[in-house]
Amino acid sequence: MSVYGVNKFCRTALHDRDVRAQIKSDPAAAMEKFPLTAEEKELLLAGDVAALWERGASGFLLSYLTRWDLLGLTVEVYSERMRGARDWRFPQGGVATSGR
Amino acid sequence: MSVYGVNKFCRTALHDRDVRAQIKSDPAAAMEKFPLTAEEKELLLAGDVAALWERGASGFLLSYLTRWDLLGLTVEVYSERMRGARDWRFPQGGVATSGR
Amino acid sequence: MARIVLGLGAPHSPNLPSVVANNPGFVEAGLYAELKNALEAARADALVIFSNDHFNTFFLNNFPMFAIGAAPATAGPNDGTPMPRYEIPVAEELASHIYSTGVSSGFDLALCQEFDVDHAFAVPVHFLCAHGKLPILPVFVNCFASPLPLASRAHALGRAIGSAIRAHEPDLRVAVMASGSFSLEIGGPAIPPGERSGVPDRAWVARVVELMRARRVDDLVTEATPSQMARAGNAGGELLNWIAMLGAIGDRAPAMLAARPHGHAFGVWRWE
Amino acid sequence: MARIVLGLGAPHSPNLPSVVANNPGFVEAGLYAELKNALEAARADALVIFSNDHFNTFFLNNFPMFAIGAAPATAGPNDGTPMPRYEIPVAEELASHIYSTGVSSGFDLALCQEFDVDHAFAVPVHFLCAHGKLPILPVFVNCFASPLPLASRAHALGRAIGSAIRAHEPDLRVAVMASGSFSLEIGGPAIPPGERSGVPDRAWVARVVELMRARRVDDLVTEATPSQMARAGNAGGELLNWIAMLGAIGDRAPAMLAARPHGHAFGVWRWE
Ligand SMILES: [Fe+3]
Ligand SMILES: [Fe+3]
């Protein structure tokens, strides 16, 4: 389901305390509950928020992860990585899907 | 929450097998889970589908109850009662709320 | 560029799969088979289905007027309809294109990136593409939660979706379908004695068929007032799905249009 | 007949309640107090709030473009914002009237008869009507799920809601509010080093304020293109709430409009 799954993962981290705890303790297992591609799981585990953003995931939702330093993402780490995203000047709005 | 609560009660009877079983075994207790007014609870317990419809509840959703003869509503009983609803010729569409 | 190669219309009554399974000679079985043949002959790459949720996919906590399903796949039925359960591929890229184009044309669409479907979509899939190889594109039209969209608005949505399909770059062949009744009351006061549902306005069914046969879609839109649709029963708004489909395919006469005594009809629009 | 007696605009930053609690002399505290005074002076019977969910009330499985909250009450925040939790009465009857009128005017609104709200509504309630005696009427505008509604469409929605209010029979005094930023990036590539959010386009904030002060709403609608709003950050679309509010109150100059360095502003429109 791609991109949507990443967004759902981040949103659930905010709304479901059990899922959040599992992301802390066993992130790979937590991801099994979401419709993520193998690549998305790898990028999430690596905390590569720029690459996820480039594929269409929401920066707003990704940055929830910093609220609990999930997946190693402190605000400092997050900011440095996200600022490294490529080709991001003035992105405009189609629907973010697997195809984006 | 009125009317909305009646619609939600009927919809949940279809979608949640546990709630459905409780409506069979202890309808008054099952109703406590829904935002129903005292009058709505009484009318539901009495199976007075015409009065509920007159207050704005959906006939389509109410008639789910006949699928399991809930609240004494066989198709025959339901049909006879609903056909007795008053002032129903060509109802037109505002939002069905407590105020309707 | 993509183009629309076929229009279809059919009912989605939840008892149809089991009735047809038990009575293969049932008239509805033959009519659905005719539509299936037309769809296969059209070699469609995707099937847009205008249909309506019955409070199963959505509820009144967030009930959309028009919603586009733009996910890789869907599944259904989600409402206990006695029939096989299907995993159904969705034409996600086309759906996203239609969604974006619709929004930029001033339609206030809801976006559904994860959803299942009830009998309104599962029954057509059962009869037309149970093989699971044809991606569908669900367009949800509110035909049940009062107030319904105006017929003129449903028609304009269909026109906008037709334009969006024709502006889609990939060279796809797209079939467009409507599903729903013209007159049907389910559980409301207009049901017949001893029954849960009935057809309160057969004259309206005949009139709808007459106008469609005569290509008088503008008159159909004008005559399909909120009060006329309400008079046709609490599922009478399902006509809006057909009106939207006719907006998408444009001004054409049906190659086949057969009304049935149950308040619905089967139709094929073909021009190639 | 009901009438609109006041327009307001303010941010809803989730840190504001705690910041103000700890620093009562904070500028934002004074500005919100000024709005509260204006609201009390206007003796409003209901407060329409144009604001936007942040994927808390809704998600992408069914994300509405525009939704009307028509329930007896709501509650919030539902997103863990550090602030008191409120039970908030909703002007259900007016909301239902606005919903029906909007649909019959060709707006494809989603209907929400049971919902809670996130900081986008809870923060304004905290500062303006925490006493719980003023019913609100939430109008959800999609400012986050791409693609956003066109500025012209948001403005037209506001106009339609303004007309609907003025056509509502009960003799109500209605205040109308917008909440949101003009330029704000949260978690996207335009954030500053070491931060989670920032203001990427201060020139645009100044331009928005200039156009509002000059009553040049049509120019604002024209200049608030999808690319300009994207340049203003991934929360830059929250300007749409203000554009809708201006549609509702009509062509008026603000009595007060104060831009803040955080990409947002406070405003009061008053004419009595
Ligand atoms: Fe149906
Ligand atoms: Fe916001």
Alpha-carbon span D95 to D85, nearest angstrom = 23
For D235-257, the pLDDT digits (tens) are: 999 999 999 999 999 989 999 99
Encoded tokens for D64: 């509405």
D119 alpha carbon – ligand 2 mean position (Å): 8
Asked if residue D161 has pLDDT above 90, the reply is yes
Please judge whether C195 and B79 are an interchain contact, meaning their C-beta atoms are less than 8 angstroms apart. Answer: yes
What's the start-to-end Cα distance of chain D, in Å? 17
Residue at A21: amino acid letter? A
Q: What is the mean pLDDT of residues D44-69?
A: 98
Asked if residue D215 has pLDDT above 80, the reply is yes
Nearest CA in chain B to D90: B1
Q: List the subunits that have 3+ CB pairs under 8 angstroms with B.
A: C, D
What's the start-to-end Cα distance of chain B, in Å? 12
D173-179, strands of its sheet edge to edge: D110-112, D66-69, D136-141, D46-51, D173-179, D3-10, D265-269, D256-259
How many other C-beta atoms lie within 10 A of the C-beta of residue C133? Answer: 7
Please judge whether C61 and D114 are an interchain contact, meaning their C-beta atoms are less than 8 angstroms apart. Answer: yes
Ligand having the closest approach to the CA of C233: 1
pLDDT for position B1: 42
Asked if residue A100 has pLDDT above 50, the reply is no
Local confidence band at B92 (pLDDT 50, 70, 90 cut-offs): low
Kindly list the residues from chain D whose CB atom is less than 8 angstroms away from the CB atom of residue B93.
100
Please judge whether D92 and B99 are an interchain contact, meaning their C-beta atoms are less than 8 angstroms apart. Answer: yes
pLDDT for position B96: 79
Residue at B81: amino acid letter? R
For helices C202-213 and C239-249, the axis angle rounded to 10 degrees is 0
Q: Can you name the residues that pair with C87 across neighbouring β-strands? A: C75
Q: What is the mean pLDDT of residues D258-265?
A: 96
Q: What is the mean pLDDT of residues C168-172?
A: 96
Alpha-carbon span C12 to C72, nearest angstrom = 23
Q: What is the mean pLDDT of residues C100-121?
A: 98
Q: What structural domains does chain A harbor?
A: 4-83 (1.10.700.10)
Please judge whether D96 and B97 are an interchain contact, meaning their C-beta atoms are less than 8 angstroms apart. Answer: yes
What percent of chain A has a predicted confidence (pLDDT) above 90?
A: 83
Q: Find the CB nearest D189 among A4, A88, A94.
A: A88
Q: List the subunits that have 3+ CB pairs under 8 angstroms with D.
A: A, B, C
D 181-240 residues with CB below 8 A of C?
Answer: none
For D105-139, the pLDDT digits (tens) are: 999 999 999 999 999 999 999 999 999 999 999 99
Local confidence band at A15 (pLDDT 50, 70, 90 cut-offs): very high
For D4-37, the pLDDT digits (tens) are: 999 999 999 999 999 999 998 999 999 999 999 9
For C19-76, the pLDDT digits (tens) are: 999 998 999 999 999 999 999 999 999 999 999 999 999 999 999 999 999 999 999 9
pLDDT for position B2: 65
pLDDT for position D34: 98
Asked if residue D227 has pLDDT above 70, the reply is yes
Local confidence band at A2 (pLDDT 50, 70, 90 cut-offs): low
Kindly list the residues from chain C whose CB atom is less than 8 angstroms away from the CB atom of residue D63.
110-112
* Average pLDDT over all residues of chain D: 97
Give the pairing of strands C197-198 and C73-76. Answer: unpaired
For B41-89, the pLDDT digits (tens) are: 999 999 999 999 999 999 999 999 999 999 999 999 999 999 999 877 7
Classify residue C41 by its DSSP letter.
H
Q: What is the mean pLDDT of residues C225-252?
A: 97
pLDDT for position A92: 65
Domain spans of chain C, in order of start: 3-180+241-251+265-269
pLDDT for position D255: 98
Q: What is the mean pLDDT of residues D193-217?
A: 98
Topology of C3-180+241-251+265-269 in CATH? Protocatechuate 4,5-dioxygenase; Chain B (3.40.830)
CB-count burial class (<10 Å; 0-12, 13-18, 19+) for A89: exposed
- What's the predicted TM-score (pTM) here? 0.97
Please tell me if residue A27 touches chain D, with a CB cutoff of 8 Å: no
Q: What is the mean pLDDT of residues A43-49?
A: 98
Count Cα atoms within 13 angstroms, Cβ side, for C177: 34
Local confidence band at C17 (pLDDT 50, 70, 90 cut-offs): very high
Classify residue B65 by its DSSP letter.
G
For B74-83, the pLDDT digits (tens) are: 999 999 999 9
Spatial neighbors of B21 by CB under 8 A, at least 6 apart, are none
B 33-52 residues with CB below 8 A of D?
Answer: 35
pLDDT for position A79: 98
Nearest CA in chain B to C193: B79
Q: Find the CB nearest A98 among C92, C97, C111.
A: C92
D142 alpha carbon – ligand 2 mean position (Å): 11
Alpha-carbon span B80 to B66, nearest angstrom = 12
Local confidence band at B99 (pLDDT 50, 70, 90 cut-offs): very low
pLDDT for position A90: 67
pLDDT for position A94: 80
Distance from CA of D195 to the nearest CA of A (A): 6
Nearest CA in chain C to B14: C79
Local confidence band at A95 (pLDDT 50, 70, 90 cut-offs): confident
Asked if residue A75 has pLDDT above 60, the reply is yes
Please judge whether A8 and D79 are an interchain contact, meaning their C-beta atoms are less than 8 angstroms apart. Answer: no
Please judge whether C70 and A98 are an interchain contact, meaning their C-beta atoms are less than 8 angstroms apart. Answer: no
- The SS3 of residue B34 is coil
Please judge whether B35 and D113 are an interchain contact, meaning their C-beta atoms are less than 8 angstroms apart. Answer: no
pLDDT for position A1: 42
Distance from CA of C193 to the nearest CA of B (A): 6
Asked if residue A89 has pLDDT above 90, the reply is no
pLDDT for position A88: 78
Alpha-carbon span B98 to D213, nearest angstrom = 41
Nearest CA in chain D to B94: D100
Spatial neighbors of C91 by CB under 8 A, at least 6 apart, are C45, C46, C48, C135, C136, C137
Q: Token pair 């908030």 is at which residue? A: D88
